[in-house]
């Protein structure tokens, strides 16, 4: 059970003066059950790669397999494979379109050809997963919700598809800290319950450090670093800096303290690690 990119390349606006290669010979396997963060600055190829995972873009060269099915082939099998990959775009609330929250979340399951009873139970489960009470919200207009709630509805719409691979493109952009934490609590609960793959595209190194087990760093259309999150932030500092990629705040703060002579080990990733290290260094525990 995996998404596999085999030597995938993609060029935008081919054969025009604006031609730009966005992906270069990327080979990569993502197993179901992994929680991955993808980082890299704008234009590094993150979004282009994501759009290959569910066939929104098809590669100029190379192949994309979902559970060993070439998703760019013709036929029912390829379509079924593409449907296993759910994608929540940036600012998903901009894609809400239906008159009621129920209708919006039901769109995907219905499209999949489920019966009305199945659709209803999927919608119920999806709404409860994102923390919206079915009886209160099902018949409301999604356009009267707050930004954070609208985003939860949009995520529910993808969750209702019950994807094996869930791609989230900056799910916390523009949200306040509390709404951001709520969204991640829901995503993580979903991940725990269903053990699908979560592929998180983010500019927040704190999110990458805190939630993901594996980190992919992209630059110029390639995956340049691929490793365990903690290991990447510890051992690839110079490379990350060169790529213009940030490191988590806790690591930066640890650097400042270390420069001032405090003995802080270099495996600090989160705030709680740092607090512990400071206490150790000062002999406070």
Partner 1 sequence: MKPIIEVKNLSHIYHDSQNREIRALDGISMSIEQGEFVAVIGTNGSGKSTLARHFNALLCPTEGTCLINGMDSNLEENLWNIRQTVGMVFQNPDNQIVAAIVEEDVAFGPENIGVPQAEIRPRVEAALAVVNMTEYAKHAPHLLSGGQKQRVAIAGVLALLPKCIVLDEPTAMLDPKGRKEIVATVKKLNEEKNITVVYITHKMEEALLADKIIVMKQGKIEMQGTPGEVFSKVEQIKELGLEVPIAAEVAAELRASGQQIPENTITPEELAEALCQ
**Using CB under 8 A as the criterion, which residues of the chain lie in contact with partner 1 when the complex forms?**
18, 41-43, 90, 141, 144, 146-148, 173-179, 203, 205, 244-246, 249-250, 252-253, 256-257, 259-262, 271, 274-275, 278-279, 282, 284
Residue 3, strand partner residues: 30, 66
Backbone angles phi, psi at 118, to 5 degrees: -65, -40
What DSSP letter does each residue of 136-149 carry, written as one string? Answer: HHTTS-GGGS-HHH
Measured N-to-C along each axis, helices 177-194 and 116-129 cross at an angle, to the nearest 10 degrees, of: 130
Question: Minimum CB separation from partner 1 for residue 155, in Å?
Answer: 16
Listed as own residue / partner, the contacts of 41-48 with beta carbons closer than 8 Å and 24 or more positions apart are 41/219, 41/243, 41/244, 41/245, 44/218, 44/219, 44/220, 44/221, 45/218, 45/219, 45/220, 45/221, 45/222, 46/201, 46/218, 47/169, 47/201, 48/10, 48/12, 48/22, 48/23, 48/221
| CB nearer to partner 1: pick between 154 and 196 | 154
| CB nearer to partner 1: pick between 199 and 247 | 247
Contact indicator for 246, 236 with CB cutoff of 8 Å: no
| CB nearer to partner 1: pick between 122 and 202 | 202
| CB nearer to partner 1: pick between 74 and 260 | 260
SS3 178: helix
| CB nearer to partner 1: pick between 22 and 81 | 22
SS3 156: helix
Question: Minimum CB separation from partner 1 for residue 156, in Å?
Answer: 18
Burial of 183 by CB count in 10 Å (0-12 exposed, 13-18 middle, 19+ buried)? buried
Question: Minimum CB separation from partner 1 for residue 164, in Å?
Answer: 29
| CB nearer to partner 1: pick between 22 and 245 | 245
Question: Minimum CB separation from partner 1 for residue 252, in Å?
Answer: 7
Question: Minimum CB separation from partner 1 for residue 33, in Å?
Answer: 28
Question: Minimum CB separation from partner 1 for residue 190, in Å?
Answer: 22
């Amino acid at each position: 059970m995996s998404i596999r990119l085999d030597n995938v390349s993609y060029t935008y606006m081919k054969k025009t003066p604006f031609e730009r290669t966005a992906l270069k010979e990327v080979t990569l396997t993502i197993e179901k059950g992994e929680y991955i963060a993808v980082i890299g600055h704008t234009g590094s190829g993150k979004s282009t790669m994501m759009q290959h995972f569910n066939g929104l873009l098809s590669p100029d060269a190379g192949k994309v397999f979902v559970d060993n099915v070439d998703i760019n082939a013709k036929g029912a099998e390829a379509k079924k494979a593409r449907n296993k990959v759910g994608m929540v775009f940036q600012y998903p609330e901009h894609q809400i379109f239906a008159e009621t929250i129920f209708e919006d979340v039901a769109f995907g399951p219905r499209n999949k050809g489920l019966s009305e009873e199945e659709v209803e139970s999927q919608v119920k489960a999806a709404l409860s997963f994102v923390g919206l009470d079915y009886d209160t919200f099902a018949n409301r207009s999604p356009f009267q919700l707050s930004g954070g709630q609208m985003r939860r509805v949009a995520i529910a719409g993808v969750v209702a598809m019950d994807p094996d691979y869930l791609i989230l493109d900056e799910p916390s952009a523009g949200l306040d800290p509390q709404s951001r934490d709520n969204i991640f609590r829901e995503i993580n609960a979903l991940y725990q319950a269903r053990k699908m793959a979560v592929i998180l595209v983010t500019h927040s190194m704190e999110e990458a450090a805190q939630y993901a087990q594996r980190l992919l760093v992209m630059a110029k259309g390639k995956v340049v670093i691929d490793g365990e999150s903690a290991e990447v932030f510890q051992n690839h500092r110079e490379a990350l800096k060169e790529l213009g990629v940030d490191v988590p705040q806790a690591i930066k703060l640890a650097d400042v303290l270390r420069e001032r002579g405090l003995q802080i080990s270099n495996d600090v990733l989160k705030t709680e690690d740092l607090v512990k290290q400071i206490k150790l260094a000062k002999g406070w525990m």
